[in-house]
Amino acid sequence: MISVQQKKLFNYNLELEKTVEQKNADITSTNEELIRHNNELRQFSYTVSHNLRGPVARLLGLTDLFSKPISHEEREEIRMMIKRSGHELDDVLKDLSLIIDIRNDLYKVREKILFETEWKKTISMLQDQLRPSYKVIADFTEAPFVYSIRAMIQSILYNLVSNAIKYRNPEIDLLVELKTSSLENQDIVLMVRDNGLGFDLDSQRENIFKLYKRFHTHVDGKGLGLYLVKTQIDTLGGKIAIESKINRGTSFNITFPMPIDVSKQIFFEGEAAQIYYDANLNNTVITWKKNITDVEYRSAFQTVLHTLKTYHTPGWIADLRLQGIVPDAEQLWFLSTVLPEAVRCGLKRIAAIGFLDPIRKNYYDRMITRTSEHGITMRVFESLEDAIHWMEGFIQRN
């Protein structure tokens, strides 16, 4: 009897130890998150106290001058100074807005992004800064694509190459090299290397990615680029390593993690519907779970509208088998609001499952008319597998 009680007590202690260990881990994780957010708040405090206060103070001082008797020439000069200060203030606000957007929950879905496509956009944006003597080499053959957030990949490429141009060594022709590779665990590595001015990594390591920190003051710059790069990489769950030597250049190695399941990335889950993104198909998939109410219907599609502006999917799969009857008012709202917005964002085809059910005849007839007017190809299928197979055909042809 005693041995049985001892065994129960032993097992109880084991469970208690596990519980305490898990609680400690949760507390540690929470503390780390609080420390990270606290550090970010400090960076924003620095921005507000220095970068916002300056242009605001100048604007207030300049507008006060208008109440004094001044000549027409002086008035015109003050007007130009007010305009310049306004632009400076607008730049700082845009910087803050961009940083805040990076933390938005909207940025959850990982798309299949071709490096070559984003690289061409980067070169186009930097065209005015590139000279014939500059040599920029990009090799994406080993890892041509990454599952990530398009806006962030574009921003990372732009900021790193822009920095290489800005902080080039004036005594030699600029050389920038980009190369991608794939690790055994399918993570993707992007290397960006230049032969520019570089900096003392030992003394500046703590300041490299801080907001508005600069290492060379003889050229224009705000010190925002590397901060954004680091913030975006952290948001993506990636890592960045840097090597640099004065007058020998700088090298960045960025590791992008492979998402767990790119074919079913859920960004809306409710009692009535599940909405997810399939990165392999570049499709949004909507599965209705039950007879829906007008509120549930609009709520789901408000989420879709909110995400369409970020994730431009040419294909849409909708499983309607459990949806029930959609009221006329909601049908008309969808056809007049959601569908045109989807087309503006690049929607080209819809695969509908269970749309031929007699209870949806009016809805189906209206959809046939409207999709034809918008140039959308719509097909009806009996199963999700058949719909996916149809969408895969477009990927193969493209």
C-alpha to C-alpha distance for 26 and 23, rounded to whole angstroms? 5
Q: Domain 111-256 has what CATH class?
A: alpha beta
Contact 360, 328 (CB under 8 A): no
Tell me the per-residue pLDDT of 364-382, one tens digit each, with 9 for 90 and over.
Answer: 999 999 999 999 999 999 9
Considering the chain, what percentage of its residues have pLDDT values greater than 90?
A: 41
Tokens of 237: 């769950």
pLDDT, tens only, 29-77: 677 667 655 655 554 554 455 456 667 777 888 888 877 788 888 888 8
Parse the chain into domains and list their residue ranges: 2-102, 111-256, 265-397
pTM over 0.85: no
* Closest residue by Cα to residue 376 from 354, 344, 334: 344
Which value, to the nearest 10 degrees, does the dihedral of the CA atoms of residues 57, 62, 63, 69 take?
150
Residue 101 is given by DSSP the state: H
3-state secondary structure of 246: coil
How is residue 51 written in tokens?
Answer: 């970068």
Domain 2-102 indexed as CATH 3.30.230: no
Higher local confidence (pLDDT), 32 or 388: 388
Indicate the class that CATH gives domain 265-397: alpha beta
User: In 10 A of CB 113, how many CB atoms?
Assistant: 21
